[in-house]
Amino acid sequence: MPLRETLTNSWDHIQSFLFPILREEVGLLTTQHQRLVVVLDVARVEAFVQMHPGLPGRPPEDRHALARAFVAKAVLDLATTSGLIERLAVDATLRRLCGWERASHVPSESTFSRTFAEFAKSSLPNRVHEALIKRAYKDCIVGHISRDATAIVGSHLGVRIWNFGPRKPSNGVSLTFRAV
């Protein structure tokens, strides 16, 4: 299915089913919240996050919620993790979209940092992007033209031309230069 049809089907699904359900659940959705919902629905980042239940010790934080927060940080263009945590503390809708009911459930900055480093180490963004491209272009042949715009270093003197014409100086070879 071409990308346009995939996006159209996703958008129809989001507009007709997902947004009304979310409005009932979390309340009013701003345009930023709607944009985040669309990205989360299309990217399906939860499918690429590994959960490790049943290990001894303190249970890890919900990796799915942290992955959604990782996406929210990028979509909302938040520069720092502390800015994301502050936004999650005051924005109940964003917090619920990410997967936390109360502000006290949002993990600490160190947990976010460790988890974001784990996501980067496991190439989570690359794997999500690769799956999205495969899903969107699975039956398509993509034609493209690659052009190399690398500068070619040349001599400022021009090109040497060996001239073995009728006039020969004493050494027998005449050199002439032509600018390129």
Q: Is the residue at 159 inside a domain?
A: no
Would you call 2 exposed, middle or buried from its count of C-beta atoms within 10 A (0-12, 13-18, 19+)? exposed
Q: Is the residue at 163 inside a domain?
A: no
Residue pLDDT, tens place only, 121-131 = 888 888 888 88
Q: Is the residue at 46 inside a domain?
A: yes
Instruction: Give the confidence band of 164 by pLDDT, cuts at 50, 70, 90.
Output: low
**Amino acid letter at 20?**
P
- Residue 168, pLDDT above cutoff 60: no
> How many angstroms separate the CA atoms of 145 and 28, rounded?
45
- Residue 158, pLDDT above cutoff 70: no
* Residue 91 CB-half CA count within 13 A: 20
Q: Is the residue at 100 inside a domain?
A: yes
- Residue 90, pLDDT above cutoff 70: yes
For 159, residues 6+ apart whose C-beta sits below 8 A from its C-beta are 177, 178, 180
Q: Is the residue at 173 inside a domain?
A: no
Q: Is the residue at 172 inside a domain?
A: no
Residue pLDDT, tens place only, 11-62 = 566 666 666 676 666 677 788 888 888 888 877 888 888 776 666 656 666 7
Taking residues 76-88, report their average pLDDT. 90
Q: Is the residue at 151 inside a domain?
A: no
Q: Which two tokens stand for residue 175?
A: 């050199």
Instruction: Give the confidence band of 165 by pLDDT, cuts at 50, 70, 90.
Output: low
> How many angstroms separate the CA atoms of 36 and 14, rounded?
12
Q: Which domain holds residue 56?
A: 3-136
Taking residues 143-172, report their average pLDDT. 66
> How many angstroms separate the CA atoms of 177 and 180, rounded?
10
- What confidence score (pLDDT) does residue 31 get? 85
The residue with greater pLDDT, 73 or 55, is 73
The count of domains in the chain is 1
Q: Is the residue at 123 inside a domain?
A: yes
